[in-house]
Amino acid sequence: MRILPLIAVAVLASSAGAQTSSAPSATRSSGSGVYSAEQAARGMDVYLGQCRSCHVPDAHASTTFQSVWNGRTLAALYSYLRESMPKSEPGSLSDQEYLDVVSYILRLNRMPPGDADLPANVEALKQIRFEMQPIPVRKEP
């Protein structure tokens, strides 16, 4: 039954646009403290209230998630969430709530927080590349 996750990745990748390696122009890494801990906490609240009914947090910190988003800009992730989520009402969250969820996803992927929130500007988000560290594979007991 591994087909469903593979289909989900294919759909996610195609609907996220053709930006597989989006960023010769991206100048910062998501590993350089691009969001605040407070913003990630707000994002967790939004995620638990709006996203968890369809998505478990671990799904956004998996090797499958990494294979789709690694190397893309945060603008691509933000735009995808804004245009596609929540599935029942895409675009129904505020811009700040979408930014907060992006910061929570960064936290889930062990990106360090910084002193400031993610900027509420798509052009600025285009300058930040999503660079995930490899997640160790769990071995079955």
| Domain CATH code at residue 65 | 1.10.760.10
140 falls within a domain: no
| CA dist., res. 60 & res. 7, Å (int) | 16
Quote the pLDDT of residue 59.
Answer: 87
Quote the pLDDT of residue 9.
Answer: 45
122 falls within a domain: yes
34 falls within a domain: yes
Residue-wise pLDDT tens digits, 54-87:
988 888 888 889 889 999 999 999 999 999 999 9
pTM recorded for the entire structure? 0.78
What residues have CB less than 8 Å from 74, skipping those under 6 apart? Answer: 30, 34, 102, 118, 125, 126, 128, 129, 130
What residues have CB less than 8 Å from 90, skipping those under 6 apart? Answer: 82, 83, 84
Whether residue 18 has pLDDT greater than 50 = no
Residue-wise pLDDT tens digits, 95-127:
999 999 999 999 999 999 999 999 999 999 999
9 falls within a domain: no
The number of distinct structural domains making up the chain is 1
Q: Which domain holds residue 66?
A: 23-129
8 falls within a domain: no
Quote the pLDDT of residue 140.
Answer: 62
Could you tell me the pLDDT band of residue 1, with boundaries at 50, 70 and 90? very low
93 falls within a domain: yes
The burial of 129, by beta-carbon neighbours within 10 Å (0-12 exposed, 13-18 middle, 19 or more buried), is given as buried
